[in-house]
Amino acid sequence: NIAGAHICTYLLEKSRVVFQAANERNYHIFYQLCALRDIPEMKHLHLRHPDDFRFTRQGNAPEIDNVDDSETFYEMSEGLFNLGITEEQQLFLFSVLAAILHMGNIEFIEERNDSCSISNNDEHLLIAAKLLGLEVPQLQKWLCHKTLKARNETVVMSLKQKDAFAGMEAFVKHIYASLFLWVVKLLNAALSNGKKDAINFIGILDIYGFEMFEENSFEQFCINYANEKLQQQFNQHVFKLEQAEYIKEEIKWSFIDFTDNQPCIDLIEKKMGIIDLLDEQCRMNRGTDENWVQILYKELTDSVHFKKPKTGNDQFVIVHYADKVSYLCHGFIAKNLDAVNESHINLLKTSSFTFFTDVLNAKLDLEKRKKYRLRLCVDTTA
């Protein structure tokens, strides 16, 4: 008999919340909520068709063939109820998700002196503030400003239009990730059997497939790195350890040749490897994607798993176990830093929704456990 279960997050594709490639959707829940925009229970969310929101229209794929978003919403909601997530918690969850869509439609107006503003009458600002339980003037202010600590004083600085927009995107990604982890925490509480360690267990890992698009960035790099590690686990247990057991027991055995992908993993995670050099560039005040990729060319070209493209100086190629993938360097530093304006975090703490305390704590709990174990892990990001 199954005594319990535990879910942990291995990799969450936060960038999907604010950007989708062609023919890709954002997370399904956003479309499900929009599909129910006209029912009385959802009227307060002020939702529209997915094409009316910046965060759900970029992939030009608002619908999936033979899938009814309204129907799948009710299935999802019923599943949450069955696992103990209350109506009050679900309404909070849907309100915050709707607020994310409205945040993406807020208009940042460029002003003089490298600053920007948001109109007092911006419809999406007003709705987002209400759905997040925040005061409108405070949300309006901190989307266009940030604090800077200098010695013993804190200075409030105005943001340029593009920086304010980028800050808003980082803010909603942080909200979504925190919300996701909060839901996982609630599910684990419902699925737990009260014991810390199971004697026998079945581990299930649901992970993205290997990705290779016309343009590949930080997200594909992370996904493909994860797949390299999974392939290594497979090699270790199916080939190396199993065949070692056959030798130990002196069983006649025709050895299976397999490609050991450890050199590719070393390229990525060893000291002075791709990630180490990226982190080093992130620690520099003036680190840039361009400088980073030039350092990669200098330090890593001896590896058979690293290639410099014949044309262009803003890409690098990794020879993965599955295929060669060319990565564009643009955005790697910003995405690796994953910087969120501290003022935005402090703003959420002022929300009238008491659930936000639990949501923010769920994110902090995970950050205390930076090293993930594949044991009993299920990635539920889809």
3-state secondary structure of 110: strand
Question: What is the rounded distance in angstroms from the CA atom of residue 21 to the CA atom of residue 168?
Answer: 20
187 with 9: CB under 8 angstroms? no
Please give the Cα distance from 105 to 312 (Å, whole number).
35
Per residue in 267-302, pLDDT (tens digit) is 999 999 999 999 999 998 889 999 999 999 999 999
Name 218's Cβ contacts closer than 8 Å, sequence gap at least 6: 15, 331, 332, 335, 336
What are φ and ψ of residue 15, in 5° steps? -60, -25
Structure-model confidence comparison of residues 375 and 195, the more confident one: 195
How far is 319 from 307, CA to CA, in rounded Å?
8
* Nearby residues of 243 by Cβ (< 8 Å), 6 or more positions away: 253, 255, 256
Q: What share of the chain is helix, strand, coil (3-state, %, to 5)?
A: 50, 10, 40
Q: What is the mean pLDDT of residues 338-348?
A: 89
Least confident of 97-111, 131-145, 230-244, 330-344: 230-244
Instruction: Report the mean per-residue pLDDT for the chain.
Output: 88
Q: How far apart are the first and last CA of the chain?
A: 28
- Give the model confidence (pLDDT) of 148-167 as tens digits: 877 788 889 999 999 999 99
- Residue with the two structure tokens 């400003």: 145
Stated pTM of the model: 0.83
Q: Residue 382 pLDDT > 90, yes or no? A: no
pLDDT at 104: 97
- 120, 139 in Cβ contact below 8 A? no
Distances (CA, A) of 34 to 14, 56, 73, 115: 20, 10, 10, 33
Nearest to 346 by CA among 88, 166, 124, 174: 174
**Could you identify the residue written with the tokens 């992908």?**
261
Label residue 338 by pLDDT band (50, 70, 90): confident
Tokens of 278: 């990226």
Give Cα 75 to chain centroid, integer Å: 24
Predicted confidence (pLDDT) at residue 230 exceeds the cutoff of 60: yes
pLDDT band with cut points at 50, 70 and 90 for residue 195: low
How big is the chain by its Cα radius of gyration, in Å? 23
Provide the 8-state DSSP code for 70. H
Please, which pLDDT band fits residue 28 given cuts at 50, 70 and 90?
Answer: very high
Structure tokens at 315: 């890409």
